[in-house]
Amino acid sequence: MFFPSVHLTTEQRLFSTLPRVDLLNSRAICGGPLGNLTACVWLSLQNSMILSAAIFITLLGLLGYLHFVKIDHETLLIIDSLGIQMTSSYASGKESTTFIEMGEVKDVVINEAIYMQKVIYYLCILLKDPVEPHGISQVVPLFQSAKPRLDCLIEVYRSCQDILAHQKATSTSP
């Protein structure tokens, strides 16, 4: 029975600037079709590892984007005796809720701004300044990711003003 053999020799070379190097010399592996196949397999494994790492990093980035950035929908709940609750629901299912007590709310307004050569409108809550009664301490924008059109904002604004007017009427009456 004949077994093909591969002859491997180790050559030792000394270089003046480099430490001792052992070289593996094989004519059967380094040359010919087997060498080309080995090189192709090695390169494809290297490329697949790089590709797998790139896919993994991309998936992590996408999950981070869905969990922390991509807002699916926003809600605004106003209860005249309690306050205003703003909820942002992210695409991953995570929810972020902010509550502002009605005593801190001065008004709800539609503000306009110029952004990228166009006028945009957004709904804002003006918070009372605790030091100065007629001052404004903070402006809280609403629906930042949805960016609804002006006609939708006007409808929400009117509803908010009705609730705020009812709250002011009930709080001032004896």
Q: How many domains does the chain have?
A: 2
Residue 121 pLDDT: 94
- pTM of the predicted model over 0.75: no
141 is a domain residue: yes
| Under 8 Å between Cβ of 91 and 74 | no
27 and 96 housed in the same domain: no
Domain finish residue from 68, 94, 111: 68
Note the pLDDT tens digit of each residue in 115-130: 899 999 999 999 999 8
53 and 78 share one domain: no
- Report d(CA 1, CA 20) in Å as an integer: 40
Average pLDDT for the chain: 79
Residues 97 and 113 in one domain: yes
| Higher per-residue pLDDT: 70 or 138 | 138
Q: Is 167 found in the same domain as 84?
A: yes
What is the pLDDT, as a whole number, of residue 32?
62
Q: Which domain holds residue 37?
A: 9-68
Helices (H), 24-130: 27-30, 32-68
Lowest mean pLDDT among 95-104, 123-132, 163-172: 163-172
Say whether both 107 and 48 belong to one domain. Answer: no
Say if residue 26's pLDDT is above 70: no
Q: Mark whether 91 and 123 lie in a shared domain.
A: yes
Measured CA to CA, the distance from residue 45 to residue 52 in angstroms comes to 10
Positive/negative CA dihedral, 99, 102, 103, 108: positive
Per-residue pLDDT tens over the stretch 141-156: 999 888 899 999 999 9
- Local confidence band at 54 (pLDDT 50, 70, 90 cut-offs): confident
Q: Which of 39, 68, 97 is the endpoint of a domain?
A: 68
Q: Domain boundary at 68, 85, 112, which?
A: 68
Return the percentage of the chain with pLDDT > 70, whole number.
74
